[in-house]
Amino acid sequence: MVIKMSEDSFFWKELLAWYSENGRHHFPWRNTKDPYRILLAEFLLQQTHVRKVEEVYKQLLLKYPNISELARANIETVEEIIAPIGLRYRAERLIKTAEIICSQHYGNVPNEYNELRKLPGIGDYIANAVLCYAFDKPVVPIDTNVIRLFTRYFGYTSKNPRPRMDKELASQIRAHFKGMDCTRDANLAVLDFAGLICTAKNPHLTICPLSKYCLDFITLSENV
């Protein structure tokens, strides 16, 4: 994979090298570009720890291998399958979304942001995740994990009590992805690093390959 480096060269060089060796490449939704499978995974991953999703994802695909099957699904059956990860309301949204895609988009998951946002339960993050991971579009899905890594490393701040809603912060973060040959891998690297190293509580500072220039780490070191 070739990355066009700019002033972020150290950040991306170290992050992508770490991801190549330590990324969560085994997740089944990481090894497909099928829009249906990626949409399904993103629905399940909402507000859920990633480790809990894998088995539910496999069971749903076994029962509903394509979107037309899901559109005809019995809601109680879907609720039963997703019960282990909670948030049973997702069953209704999943089925309704599948119905709309089949009736209005000929069974094809939309590849445009505005069309995706019209679907039940699809917000900014899922829309951008589907566009990036299924259609290779150069977009950046931003969630609290992404925000945490970039605010710690680059020192960004937000006056918004809900940083995910801060458009200026989102713009600052997305600027670091410009000029890349593979936004998909960059996004996945950020997700995995934030989930495994730059964690919300007790980040693994002693093994962090980014600590050399991380503003948060530098500040902590100076205050010791």
Cα atoms in the Cβ-side hemisphere of radius 13 Å centred on 70: 32
**Rounded CA separation 109/130 (Å):** 9
DSSP-derived 3-state class of residue 218: helix
The C-alpha atoms of residue 170 and residue 140 are separated, in whole angstroms, by 9
**Residue 56 — very low, low, confident or very high, per pLDDT cuts 50/70/90?**
very high
Residue 119: the pLDDT is 98
Q: Any idea which of 44-48, 64-68, 123-127 has the lowest mean pLDDT?
A: 44-48
End-to-end CA distance of the chain: 39
Contact 157, 151 (CB under 8 A): yes
Query: What is the per-residue pLDDT for 34?
Result: 98
What is the predicted pLDDT for the residue at 224?
60
pLDDT category of residue 6 using cuts at 50, 70 and 90? very low
Mean pLDDT of the chain: 93
pLDDT reported for residue 221: 82
Residue of 132, 134, 130 lying closest to 118 (CA atoms)? 130
Spell out the alpha helix ranges (H) of 46-182. Answer: 50-63, 67-71, 75-82, 89-104, 113-117, 124-135, 144-154, 167-175
CA distance 125 to 94: 16
Q: Does pLDDT of 81 surpass 80?
A: yes
- pLDDT attached to residue 222: 78
Q: What is the mean pLDDT of residues 48-72?
A: 94
Average pLDDT of span 65-88: 95
Structural domains in the chain, sorted by start: 9-25+139-222 (1.10.1670.10), 34-135 (1.10.340.30)
3 within 8 A of 19, measured Cβ to Cβ: no
Amino acid at 194: A
Q: Which of 172, 191, 177 lies closest to 137 in space, CA to CA? A: 177
39 closest CA partner among 103, 108, 114: 108
